[in-house]
A = this chain, B = another copy of it.
Amino acid sequence: MIMDDLFARAKVSPVCLGLDTRHEYLPQYLKQSKMTVGEQIYEFNKKIIDATAEMVACFKVQIACYEALGLDGMACYSKTLQYAKSKGAIVIADVKRGDISSTAKQYAQGHFSGDFEADIITVNAYMGEDAVSPYYEYLDKKGLFVLVKTSNPSGVDFQDKLTDGEPLYLTTAKKVSEWGKTFIGNSGYSSIGAVVGCTYPSEFTKIKELMPNTFFLIPGYGAQGGTGKDIAEVFKGGICGVVNSSRGLITAHKGKTEEADFADYIAIATLDMKKDILKWL
């Protein structure tokens, strides 16, 4: 099952490289080429995948960056997923979809098969279990990361509201853990994982206690302020998730080169991040 595979890779490198690619990140030589913006971004992503596939647990592709560019962007999104998979990488589609059952079925088809097929997708459970259950039939091969506690400043607006004496994110944590029980693989981790930001390390500890079989997608490292030390706190009992960095890695070449060697800088930043996390363990 997919989380067994992801866990095995995370033990070597817990880095999740986020391909939240924007056109302004590209080096001049690509921007000046005759390709469409989507094709340019695909070239950029491809070179990053080539340079870093062996150093990361997985790639996360933020679909918003591709939707922003319309059909050209969606073609780039599709090709990026397919290229990463052709290199044997695990791909997380960061789509954060959440809708009623009949609609979630459509999203499941869209993101677990065909042009946009990914290995794992992120989902928003604010609409309750029937917004998540349509994905269950795919979970022998595929996986989910359900939003539990996000890394953004306004995440507290609703997620930290006290419900029955505890913050809502703990209620969500319990529900997600419960839903995942039917899908636990050999590693002890369920195909239903959770998104929990590393920008709130003490909250993370409480969440982990409630979710012993849950593997985590951990945003917030780097550009959003999370550090290797924050991650060390989370990984105290062993590696239990992948740590995402997007901007912090894929803009590592900015100000240093505008040529095809840009991916070297991104590879170095990726290795630095890996070391920054592993040195504390």
Chain A residues near B (Cβ < 8 Å): 20, 22, 62, 64-65, 67-75, 78, 96-104, 106-107, 109-111, 114-116, 124-131, 147, 150-159, 161-164, 168, 171-172, 175, 247
Contacts and interface: CB of A to CB of B under 8 A. Distances in A.
> Mostly helix, strand, loop or mixed at chain A's interface?
helix
Copies in the complex: 2
B116 A67 contact: yes
Contact of A96 (B20, B70, B98, B247): B98
B154 A130 contact: yes
Nearest to A107: B64
A102 B18 CA distance: 13
B125 A67 contact: no
A10 to B, nearest CB: 23
A75 B115 CA distance: 13
Given A70-B78, A158-B126, A100 B163 contact: no
A106 B164 contact: no
Given A68-B106, A78-B71, A99-B96, A162 B164 contact: yes
A48 B103 CA distance: 20
